Structure 1
């Protein structure tokens, strides 16, 4: 009898160890830490909360950080996967190569950087040539913009020094000297919106999903008293039709100049909860949630419509 008891206790101990092992989770059960660039927060929240609703035995502990910090968390194995607006660079790939880890990267959506000004600023059109002049330090005042009725210094407002929004704009316009630009950083996309609303000379840069979900109460609240600027790639546009805002259609048709890709990058070594979430995005209704957030999904959700002749 004592032998049977020992065997039974051994099985219980093995079961407990299995439950506490890193591979204990699966696509329908378990808890994992994931991280994301803060500019993608509204979209990411809608996705993981919907997944938890479908599978009540799952739990995502989500950390929203500036993109560089979010990727670093995933590299240190403090998070299973990361939502990012860029692929890993060579230095980051080398971390996985050294640890002999095969990571997976999926392109899931096209996002856009929205340029916002306060409602009192009637200037809502700008060209990429003018933006280049601003980021090169050649244009410093609103009066220098061709279509501006605003006066005073242009204050560029970003969410964080390490944010994807700032890094994208600096890369887009090949900025090498930051000392010539008047940049002000806060702590979140939401705070960028609040700052722009209160400061007429501010030009804010946010992830478009913060103000593009028409069904979200917070989106409606954040969008109040703001103008979203139209951007033209033509140096000398002749009409308002040459300007495009970061609407979903313009992201999909690639007519809005300040667009970027969104990826989910995973270090998960087994078919776990992280893989389940990625499959949900790529093969299930995740595309519909991305679309609802105002972004253009890499794989749009297919709707079936049945027409009957009566």
Structure 2
């Protein structure tokens, strides 16, 4: 990360800006000078991690009320396309841009600011009535390789341009999506509904959608079962076995399919992209991550009250 300011100075700016009070009547953030905590911008967000970003932005904007950030949720490929077409300068994704992709910004003399703020996991879900409680990663990889001997009926993803699908294809060493047993909808809501209605299918979804789902999909959550996955990376006996994508298992490195979430800022200036990135990775933002069921990249401090009486 190549910030052009001192972290202490940043929080001084935050403090001073918060002392300015709420926005005045009819004040339009689009007409306010953009700083770390004021003005207007648009952030494109990978669909699979939408809930945690929505939470972070909601608190950030409630604290700094002279700010307006428009959240646009898209599949990962569309988020990248938006960055490379100047439709947005700030994005939140589960991977960094490649060297080739970043070259577009370096040619414009824009230095990237990439900030990690959470660790997410990819979860496998099935209908609650299914007898299955575990899934073998090697069987998943067989499906993605087009091996019909795989003991899996179907894998259902949120989108053909999904970051989750890309992640698993990369793990399987596959470049093309197979023609059989792999299906893609357009949204995570559709995946949850399909698994709710169809016994035998396996949905693949970001764990944040399960632990902190939007209100409209909560009815489906009670009808799906999260499968435990074998830890293929285990080196110690204590790490071997099948693990669900719980917060503790993700933090301990026991769950094999995790990914780091990043704020990618290509504004080329000290604006809201920088302000939001540091907020999400600082104390308050990390508490939001912790409460969301994901794993913060830094551990928030705990306030302990010492009493003289017991």
Equivalent of residue 28 in structure 1, options 27, 32, 37: 37
Contact 2:189 2:217 in 1 (8 A): no
1:177, CA displacement in angstroms? 4.9
Q: Which residue of 2 aligns with 1:159?
A: 158
What's the secondary structure of 2:143's corresponding residue?
A: helix
Kindly indicate whether residue 144 of structure 2 is the aligned counterpart of residue 135 of structure 1: yes
What's the secondary structure of 1:33's corresponding residue?
A: strand
Larger Cα Rg: Structure 1 or Structure 2?
A: 1
Q: Which residue of 1 aligns with 2:205?
A: 206
1:179-258 pair list within 5 angstroms:
179=178, 181-213=180-212, 217=215, 220-234=218-232, 242-258=241-257
TM-score by length of 2: 0.83
Count matched residues: 279
CA distance in 1, matches of 2:68, 2:220: 28
What's the secondary structure of 2:164's corresponding residue?
A: helix
Moved more, 287-296 or 129-138: 129-138
Structure 2, unaligned stretches of length 5 or more? 1-28
Contact 1:136 1:180 in 2 (8 A): no
1:207, CA displacement in angstroms? 0.7
CA distance in 2, matches of 1:191, 1:217: 14
Q: Which residue of 2 aligns with 1:175?
A: 174
TM-score by length of 1: 0.83
1:309, CA displacement in angstroms? 1.8
Q: Which residue of 2 aligns with 1:4?
A: none
Kindly indicate whether residue 127 of structure 2 is the aligned counterpart of residue 118 of structure 1: yes
Contact 2:154 2:181 in 1 (8 A): yes
What's the secondary structure of 1:46's corresponding residue?
A: helix
Equivalent of residue 49 in structure 1, options 22, 36, 58: 58
Structure 1, unaligned stretches of length 5 or more? 1-18, 145-152
CA distance in 1, matches of 2:30, 2:281: 29
CA distance in 2, matches of 1:154, 1:186: 17
